[in-house]
With several copies, the nearest count.
Chain A
Amino acid sequence: MPSDQERILVRAAGEVIPGQIVNLGIGLPTRLSHYLSEEMGVLVHSENGVLGCRPRTTGEAPDFDMIDSGGAYIATRPGASVFDSAMSFAMIRRSRVDITFMGAFEVDELGNLANWKIPGKFSPGIGGAMELAQKVKKLVILCSHNDKHGNPKILSRCRLPLTAPACVSRIITDKAVMDVTPEGLAVVDIAEGLGVVELRAATEAELIIDESQLGRF
């Protein structure tokens, strides 16, 4: 049986359309690159200055000049290019990246995202997350539905400093797939074996659920 993380990644891979340009945030989203086959003709953008990166295959020697924004040594796919940081973020700000996947500390009903700072505890700097969140055409959040203490991460309103306001399109957790809509968070899919009551209990945000339309994943 796949782990929660694997289920999230398999579900997330289905969001990518062949031929798109994709950015993957640090952590869980980075692992999505293993689910994007060369046949899809997708180019993965990494904000340190490469378009078309892929994970190294087993035994493939590292090229010390080739990393992704998480610091992993990478290889490239046909059609790849490298460029400076200004070009890399021009691509982001001009919405030339079709879809980006990111982790989250908190997401809320308005699509607000907080994933970079916990005042007094964790403030290493925002890196490229702010511009990605604000400008990429479609932002999909991949995260656990609850934190390690069981507290909900899907909130009515974010309490931490925002990465960007009203930026999230879709949220994929171990418990549900939710869309940010003008009416609030609409549940698209619910985890195999999970009930609607349990999902609501694990969530601070109000959830819009039409059980007749609900998918499973």
Chain B
Amino acid sequence: MTLLNNKFQAVEEAVARIPDGASIMVGGFGSPGTPFALIDELLAQGQRGLTLIKNDANEPGIGISRLIEAGRVNRLITSHIGLNRLAIEAMNREELSVEMHPQGLLAEKIRSAGAGHYGFLTDIGLGTEIAGKRREIECEDRTWAIEPALYADFALVHAEQADRYGNLIYRGTASNFNPLMAMAAEHVIAQAYRVAEPGSLALESIHTPCAFISQVVQITEATSEQGRRHHAV
């Protein structure tokens, strides 16, 4: 972990730690909570062979779709890519390997990593085609599927507010996968509109304690304008 006083960095420096071939969790459900500035910096820096873990593939032209479109992503672990025809086409052309999980199980697999477990036992999906892909065990005369935790090398998360130590506050539905990924990845880079001095955030208002965060980057509101402009629904 980075020492508390050394976490506040420029976006270039923070993202430069990510090597080719890294597995990267990316926050966001659709546009809200997507760390657009960090993703765009990753696009600019040129890392390739990436495995991305995100609820969805964003929409064409924004967010992780830009990385997919640029051929920088080998593998996507996700829940639903129905709003991104480019991602579906890349999947169908077998240029992008896609692993899909039911949304709540994806969330829990990430949360399970964040809690430091091997995984959890669930009845979700029993009797469906996803069941056959999983190892099952009997406990108390019922069948349960083992869902292994999902860890990653990096997480890119978006917060509304932060402090220099990396305490984070999310806003509205921009929370979604961000607090889970912040706990699950080895190295966590957070972007926030405002990065305050430690002590300026109320204790109870902090959603992600700084212990999980490696780097904090301050961004302007403008860096998420792309998500707002393109958002179609």
Contact = CB atoms under 8 A, between A and B. Distances in A.
Contacts of B102: 126-131
A82 interface: yes
Interface residues of A, number: 65
Contact of B129 (A41, A66, A73, A161): A161
Contacts of B164: 79
A43 B176 contact: no
Interface residues of B, number: 74
B173 A124 contact: no
Contacts of B116: 90, 92-94, 135
Contacts of A77: 199
B228 A64 contact: yes
A76 B207 CA distance: 17
Interface in B73-129: 78-83, 88, 98, 100, 102-105, 107-108, 110-111, 114-117, 123-125, 127-129
Given A82-B203, A84-B179, A66 B100 contact: no
B211 A97 contact: yes
Interface string A14-38: 0001111100000000000000000
B177 A84 contact: yes
B103 A47 contact: yes
A6 interface: no
B31 A67 contact: yes
Contacts of A90: 114-116, 183
A22 to B, nearest CB: 11
A164 interface: yes
Interface string B116-151: 110000011101111000000000000000000000
Interface stretch (A48-56, A141-149, A207-215): A48-56
B23 to A, nearest CB: 16
B176 A72 contact: no
B224 interface: yes
B1 interface: yes
A81 interface: yes
B167 A79 contact: yes
Given A21-B211, A84-B179, A85-B103, A49 B29 contact: yes
A167 B170 CA distance: 34
Given A43-B210, A47-B103, A128-B102, A85 B176 contact: yes
B174 interface: yes
Given A82-B172, A130-B125, A93 B30 contact: no
Given A71-B233, A82-B203, A18 B5 contact: yes
Nearest to A119: B129
Contact of B210 (A20, A46, A81): A81
Interface string B194-215: 0001110101101101111000
A133 to B, nearest CB: 9
A97 B107 CA distance: 18
A24 B122 CA distance: 24
25 contacts: A18-B3, A20-B3, A43-B211, A48-B29, A48-B32, A49-B175, A50-B203, A67-B30, A67-B32, A79-B167, A81-B209, A86-B107, A86-B115, A89-B103, A90-B116, A93-B116, A93-B117, A94-B116, A124-B81, A128-B104, A130-B104, A130-B125, A131-B103, A134-B125, A162-B127
Interface of B: 1, 3-6, 29-33, 55, 78-83, 88, 98, 100, 102-105, 107-108, 110-111, 114-117, 123-125, 127-130, 160, 163-165, 167, 170-180, 183, 197-199, 201, 203-204, 206-207, 209-212, 224, 227-228, 231-233
